[in-house]
Amino acid sequence: MRVCFFVTCLADQFFAEAAADAVRLLRALGVEVSFPRAQTCCGQPAFNAGHWDEARRMAAHTQDVFAGCEYVVLPSGSCTTMLRAYTPRLFEGDRHRYDAALDLAGRSYELVEFLVRVLNTESVGRGLTGRRLAYHHGCHVSRELGIKEEPVRLLEAAGAKVVPWEADQECCGFGGVFSVKNAPVSLAMADRKLDTLPEVDALTSADGACLLHLAGRAKKRGLAVPVRHVASLLWEAHRGG
Amino acid sequence: MAAKGYKAAARRTLEHAPEVREAVTRATLHFDRNRERAYGEVEAEAWRDWAAATKRHTLSRLDRYLLEAERNLTAPGTEVHWAEDAKDAQRILQELVERYGVRRVVKGKSMLSEELGVNEHLERLGVEVFETDLGEYIIQLAGEPPSHIVGPAIHKGLEEIRALFHERLGTPPDASPETLAAVARRVLREAFLTADMGISGANFVVAETGTVVLVENEGNIRLTTSTPRVHVVFVGIEKLLPRARDLEVFLQLLARAATGQKIGTFVSLINGPRREGEPDGPEHLHVIFVDNGRTSVLADREMHEALSCIRCGACLNACPVYRQTGGHAYGQVYSGPIGIVLTPGLKDPRLAEDLGYACSLCTACADVCPVRIPLPKQILTWRVRSTKHAPATERLAFEGYAEVMTRPRFYRLSSKLLRLTAPLTGAPWLPVLGAWAAGHGALEPSPKSFREIWEEELDGA
């Protein structure tokens, strides 16, 4: 099976090792992975800020870059949502681009979703035995893509215990430009997540942006919260057995 | 003077009134969990589909249903009035106050009356007004507007209410909630028995039967609508249901969405004023249909679904942004997701520039809305419309960003620059990073970008 890896600009810059782990994991599972070099950003920040002309330019660029790929896999639920659910809305008035958006939407998968729903993976390995994890359900992953149980199942199949967390499904407060436009509210939302977080070995999620927000906030407050992208944990699960 | 708008008010609330966040979080999570359980007991998805379709249908034929409702309301002797805006509504109310020589009014909870400034107008006319819903009574004593559609005083904790009652009603400073409620009850009983006019909203008006439908838990609305000799109903033109049998689902769905109850404790179905031989009910019943911006929302191709709203408050309870500050920070009658969507349409599109960002686009509201209003989509639409007034710096930033992201070479160069200037505490060319760093500490890019790792290690491996 051949996959084009869409690292996404955020993971490229801030979760580079986790993104590399995603590639290593896919390859270990027998997937052929390529990296189209012209890729940049899916355009979601502009889309969410209402700057749709700019979002369209980036979305069109992304369509062109991934035009020939059988599957596109992203280590980011949020960017996958941009391709799956939002880009078509940008092109409602442009038949050619709209069709291309639906085409790409149907070929694009978030990493865990790809493992579970396309590769039918039930376990990537047992290398997380005894680990206590908190899983943050990113809004886009859980509500827009409907991926809720899959990451938890894979982590538990690896021997980890995903502990109950009363705020696990609540928004972390990042929200792209929201985090800068209404910083105090955005931070209060992160604080609610952190204040309810149980004692764990790591906080994980399928969305780097949420983790960046939560990790930054935790650090600023002097809280010791180890944050790991789910791709890194799953690679570790594989490598460790 | 304090800065205006949501942004400033939210900051002030979080800094100076942290107890609001605590009270609102507790109350809304409680409501939301009850809603979730109550949805789970029935075929909520199917009910929501049907309710949404029924409201959309009603709105598509609103002219016809309004005329049908007027006919059927008028038949048993109810007088129907039409108000285009708040001024119009106030004028009609003033005429009624003068016609019946009204000195004292009891009110049931009504968000529309907040929109219309009913209390302030009555006070200007020298009429004494009593809010009779306990939550509304509390905030009336405090001189505040409601902060939530269903729980107007949820932003107040017990201590604050104790202090307020102690100061205004002379209750002991450590009075129990039961004592506080009993004292309010005594004051309000007296008001019910001496008022000349009761004012209420309406949850629904059934076109087919001309029935005004009111849902409540305290019994105060039933007293408001049956004890004084005049009852005035303010109702938005969007609150119609075609048929009486539609109530079967709507009454249950409203209660489940709002509080997780199977049905409201009191449901009043009012068909006309008191008839010959009836022991109670008002001698005169007036229904005032109010537009106040609704027809412009109806005409808006991308916003009209918002008029399906049945004011259950479920989107407020589900909203993690609302939870941080409560409703007052929005500075409008309607807060939370539905407030963001409705307010610019009802009042002024430019309000969306500020309100549109009282949202992280988490989409939790869309999951709970009983009539499936596409709230996140509409909030984003307001943002899109607002960009034409966005500051030049913002427009420039997004243009530059698109330039970089559509030129892979520029992108790679930026990636290198990012590493050269790290740690990013606020490089002058990216002021946005400074704002980020204030709450999170400096942004720390990965030592190597993925692209570099790919080139050095993964490519061809």
Cβ-based contacts of B25 with chain A (< 8 Å): 192
User: What contacts B263, CB < 8 A, 6 or more positions away?
Assistant: B215, B251, B252, B255
Quick one: which of B97, B330, A227, B432 has its CA closest to B341? Answer: B330
Kindly tell me the sign of the dihedral angle through the C-alpha atoms of A222, A223, A228, A230: negative
Interface check for A37 against chain B (CB to CB < 8 A): the answer is: yes
pLDDT in tens, B73-131: 999 999 999 999 999 999 999 999 999 999 999 999 999 999 999 999 999 999 999 99
Band (B438; pLDDT cuts 50, 70, 90): confident
pLDDT > 70 fraction of chain A, expressed in percent and rounded: 100
Largest Cα–Cα distance of chain A, in whole Å? 52
Distance from C-alpha of A167 to C-alpha of A184, rounded to nearest angstrom = 19
Q: Which two tokens stand for residue B451?
A: 């692209």
Nearest to B216 by CA among B60, B107, B371, B344: B107
C-alpha of B89 from chain center: 20
**Are A194 and A217 in contact, with CB atoms under 8 Å apart?**
yes
Chain A residues whose beta carbon lies within 8 Å of the beta carbon of residue B356: 50
Cross-chain Cβ contact B439/A220 below 8 Å: yes
Q: In this structure, is the dihedral angle defined by the CA atoms of residues A54, A57, A60 and A64, taken in order, positive or negative?
A: negative
Taking residues B203-215, what's their average pLDDT?
98
B418 falls in which pLDDT band (50, 70, 90)?
confident
What is the spatial distance between Cα B195 and Cα B206, in angstroms, rounded to a whole number?
Answer: 28
Confidence of residue B425 (pLDDT cuts 50, 70, 90): low
| CA angle, residues B162, B168, B173, in degrees to nearest 5 | 35
Express the helix, strand and coil content of chain B in percent, nearest 5 each.
55, 10, 35
Task: Answer yes or no: do A217 and B418 touch at CB < 8 A.
Answer: no
User: What is d(CA B11, CA B438) in angstroms, rounded to the nearest whole number?
Assistant: 14
In chain A, which residues have their Cβ closer than 8 Å to the Cβ of B406? Answer: 40, 57-58, 61
**Complete domains list, chain B, with CATH:** 1-41+312-390 (1.10.1060), 51-292 (3.40.50.10420), 392-458 (no CATH)
Q: Do A183 and B435 touch (CB under 8 A)?
A: yes
The reply to whether residue A143 touches residue B438, judged by beta carbons under 8 angstroms, is: no
Return d(Cα A220, Cα B1) in angstroms, integer: 31
Structure tokens at A194: 């952190």
Beta bridge partners of B285: B231
pLDDT tens-digit profile of A102-144?
999 999 999 999 999 999 999 999 999 999 999 999 999 999 9
Whether A152 and A181 have beta carbons less than 8 Å apart is answered as no
Instruction: State whether A16 and B448 contact (CB < 8 Å).
Output: yes
Q: Tell me the CA distances in angstroms from A94 to A54, A87, A89, A99, B449, one per residue in order.
A: 15, 12, 10, 8, 35
Q: Which residue of B has its CA nearest to A78?
A: B362
CA distance, residue B316 to nearest chain A CA (Å): 14
Query: Could you tell me the sign of the dihedral formed by the alpha carbons of B122, B123, B128, B132, in that order?
Result: positive
Question: How many CB atoms within 10 Å of residue B57?
Answer: 12
Q: Best of A21, A182, A195 to disrupt the B interface by mutation (most B CBs within 10 Å)?
A: A182
For A77-109, how does the pLDDT look when each residue is reduced to its tens digit (9 = 90+)?
A: 999 999 999 999 999 999 999 999 999 999 999
Nearest to B198, CA basis, from B275, B135, B281, B136 = B281
- Find out whether A225 and A194 touch, Cβ atoms under 8 Å: yes
Provide the 3-class DSSP secondary structure of residue B42.
coil
**A11–chain B nearest CA distance, Å:** 7
Q: Determine the pLDDT at residue B1.
A: 40
Predicted pLDDT of residue B428: 46
The residues that bridge with B211 in the sheet, in sequence order, are B206
Nearest C-alpha of chain A: how many angstroms from B300? 18
**What value does the mean pLDDT of chain B take?**
95
pLDDT, mean of residues B52-63: 98
Q: Which residues of A touch B12 (CB under 8 A)?
A: none
Given the structure tokens 């107007």, which residue do they identify? B152
Q: Count of CB contacts below 8 A, A vs B?
A: 183
Chain B contacts in chain A segment 130-169 (CB below 8 A) = 139-140, 143-144
B240-274 pLDDT, tens digit each: 999 999 999 999 999 999 999 999 999 999 999 99
Tokens for A70? 């059988």
**E strand or H helix that includes residue A109:** strand A108-110
List the one residue out of A115, A133, A89, A173 whose CA is nearest residue B357. A173
Instruction: Report percent pLDDT > 70 for chain B.
Output: 97
Contact list, A221 vs chain B (CB under 8 Å): none
- Please tell me which residue of chain A has the smallest CA distance to B411: A40
Inter-chain residue contact B11 with A184, CB threshold 8 Å:
yes
Euclidean distance between CA atoms B358 and B319, whole angstroms: 10
Give Cα separations from B310 to A147, B307, B327, B446 (angstroms): 30, 8, 18, 49
Chain A residues with CB under 8 Å of B360 CB are 139, 171, 173-175, 178, 186, 189
Q: Domains (ranges, CATH) in chain A?
A: 2-118 (no CATH), 132-239 (3.40.50)
Q: CA B287, CA B78: separation in Å to the nearest integer?
A: 7
Which residues from B are below 8 Å from A13, CB to CB?
415, 418, 445-446, 449
Q: Pinpoint the alpha helices (H) of B239-310.
A: 247-258, 294-298
- For residue B444, the model assigns a pLDDT of 87
* The pLDDT value given to residue A114: 98
Instruction: With a cut of 70, say whether residue B47 has pLDDT above it.
Output: yes
Q: Which residues of B287-310 are buried (b: 16+ CB within 10 A; e: fewer)?
A: bbbbbbbbeebbebeebbbbbbbb
- CA-CA distance, B37 to B257, in Å (whole number)? 10
Angle CA(B146)–CA(B151)–CA(B153) in degrees, nearest 5? 55
Shortest distance between the Cα of A116 and any Cα of chain B, in A, equals 24
Q: Is A43 on the interface with B (CB under 8 A)?
A: yes
Of A50, A183, A213, nearest to B380 by CB-CB distance is: A50
pLDDT digits (tens, 9 = 90+) for A207-233: 999 999 999 999 999 999 999 999 999
Nearest to A188 among B14, B386, B458 (CB): B14
Dist. CA A66–CA A39, nearest whole Å = 8
Across the interface, do B404 and A43 touch by the CB < 8 Å criterion? no
CA atoms of A151 and A164, how far apart (whole Å): 14
Measured N-to-C along each axis, helices A183-196 and B431-440 cross at an angle, to the nearest 10 degrees, of 30
Question: pLDDT at position A209, please?
Answer: 96
User: In terms of CA atoms, which chain B residue is nearest residue A24?
Assistant: B458
Give me the percent of chain B exceeding a pLDDT of 90: 92
CA-nearest residue to A23 within chain B is B458
> Does residue A167 register a pLDDT over 60?
yes
Distance CA B212, CA B270 (A): 5
Cβ partners under 8 Å of residue B413, min gap 6: none
User: Which of A26, A39, A51 to probe the B interface (max B CBs under 10 A)?
Assistant: A51
Written as one letter, the residue type at B420 is L
Sequence letter at residue A37: R
At residue B2, the pLDDT reads 52
What is the model's pLDDT at position B443? Answer: 83
Three-state DSSP class for residue B303: coil
pLDDT level of residue B53 (50, 70, 90 thresholds): very high
Which residues pair with residue A34 across a beta bridge? A4
CB-CB under 8 Å, B10 with A185: yes
pLDDT of residue B460: 80
pLDDT computed for residue B225 by the predictor: 97
Compute φ and ψ for A146, nearest 5 degrees: 70, 25
pLDDT at B423: 58
